Amino acid sequence: PKRNSVESTATLTKSKPKPMSSRIKTQSTTNSCRTDKSPKLKGLVANDTITWAKGEVLGKGAYGTVYCGLTSQGQLIAVKQVCLDSSDPDAAKKEYNRLQGEVDLLKTLRHSNIVGFLGTSLYQHVVSIFMEYIPGGSIASILHRFGPLPERVLALYTHQILEGVAFLHQNRVIHRDLKGNNVMLMPTGVIKLIDFGCARRLSCLNPTAPNSGELLKSIHGTPYWMAPEVINESGYGRKSDIWSVGCTVFEMATGKPPLAHMDKMAALFYIGARRGLMPSLPDGFSENAKDFVKICLTSDQSVRPSADQLLKHSFIPKGHTIHSSKMNILWYQNHCEYTPN
C-alpha cells in the first residue's frame, strides 16, 4: 500500500468543539482551568479543509494504536486510533464514553510539558484523537538506546516532569499512570507527559489539601510504579502521582523501576505491605538525588510531599528551564562533553 494515501478529510475550526464527530476540531480555550500560553498549537489551526495520511506506528497499548500522520498543510501529528466494537453496542458505547472523558481532559490542559491536543474525529467506528507529534520518543526508549541518564540530565528532566504534574494537580487532575513510557522527549530537550487514558479529575477544589474531598479507590496504573494506597484500594489522591514520579526518576537513573528484579505480583505485594524499604539510588548519585527519590517513595501519602514542594527541593536545578521554541546551542557547547563507549 502507498504510504501517502489519504486517510481522512477534516475541517479545523476555532469554534467550541461539540462531542466527537467526523471532523477534526481544535480545542476550545474557554475553560476554567489555568492555561499555559504556549504557541505550540499555532500553525495547525486553520479554517480550511485538510487531509492527512497515515504513517508508521509510533506505539501500541491496551487502549489503541498511535500513528504518525502528515497533514495536507505539511505538519506531522500523532494520531491515536481506537476501533469501537460494532458487534457489541454496549461495549462500544462504554469505550466511546471512556475516550470522550480522555478528550474532555486533554482539551483543557495546555502546558509546555503536556502533549498538545489538536482534535478528534469518528469515522466508520474508528475514533481518532489528534495530538502534537513528539519525535524524540519516550524516556523508556531513550534509556533503551543510551542507558541510564547522568545526574545533570536526570535533574533537568525531573524538573520538567514536576512542572507538568504540578499543573495537572493545580487543575485537579491525577494522571494515574506516570512512568517512562508515558514521558516523551522533544529533540530540544523538552519533556511532555502523554497518555491520559487513566487520568481522572477530582471534585476537590483545594490544591493544598490533596487528600481531602474525593478519594479514588479504583486500581489504575502499572505495577512497578503504583503507590501503596492504590494497591491497597485504601483511597488515594494527587500524592499517588508523586510516588510514580519517584519510581520514574529511579527508572531514569538506573534504567529500570524499583523492584524490577521481582515479578509483578511480588512487587505489588511488597509495595502494598509497606513493610520493607524501597530501594535507594546507587552510589555515584548525589545525596540530593537520593533524598529526592526517598521522599517521593514515602509510604504514608499524608507525609509524601506535593509537586509544588518538590519543585523547591535542592535536587531540582534552578534557572535551567528549556523552552520548546528555542534551543540554546551555546549552553550545550559549554556544558556537554562527549563520552566514548
Which residue in 245, 249, 241, 316 sits closest to 282, CA to CA? Answer: 249
Tell me how far apart the alpha carbons of residues 18 and 24 are, in angstroms, rounded to a whole number: 11
Quick count: other Cβ atoms within 10 Å of Cβ 181? 19
Tell me how far apart the alpha carbons of residues 160 and 311 are, in angstroms, rounded to a whole number: 9
Query: What is the tens place of the pLDDT at every residue in 226-272?
Result: 999 999 988 899 999 999 999 999 999 999 999 999 999 999 999 99
Work out the average pLDDT over 210-219.
59
3-class state of residue 3 by DSSP: coil
Tell me how far apart the alpha carbons of residues 151 and 285 are, in angstroms, rounded to a whole number: 7
pLDDT of residue 64: 87
Calculate helix-pair angle for 151-170, 239-254, nearest 10 degrees: 160
Tell me how far apart the alpha carbons of residues 153 and 253 are, in angstroms, rounded to a whole number: 10
For the chain, where do the domains classified as CATH 3.30.200.20 start and end? 6-132
pLDDT of residue 61: 76
Q: Pick the catalytic residue from 48, 85, 104, 177.
A: 177
Cβ atoms of residues 247 and 224 within 8 Å: yes
- Which residue carries 526508549 as its cell? 141
Tell me how far apart the alpha carbons of residues 110 and 263 are, in angstroms, rounded to a whole number: 37
**Average pLDDT of every residue of the chain:** 81
pLDDT of residue 39: 33
* Annotated binding residue 256: no
- Report how far apart, in Å, the C-alpha atoms of 293 and of each of 286, 315, 320, 329 are: 11, 10, 20, 30
For the chain, where do the domains classified as CATH 1.10.510.10 start and end? 139-335
Which residue in 297, 235, 300, 226 sits closest to 264, CA to CA? Answer: 226
Give the largest Cα separation in the chain, rounded.
60
Q: Which helix (H) or strand (E) covers residue 240, if one does?
A: helix 239-254
Classify domain 6-132 by CATH number.
Answer: 3.30.200.20
Work out the average pLDDT over 211-227.
75
pTM of the model: 0.80
**Has 291 been annotated as catalytic?**
no
Give the CATH architecture of domain 139-335: Orthogonal Bundle (1.10)
Please tell me which residue, 279 or 215, carries the higher pLDDT value: 279
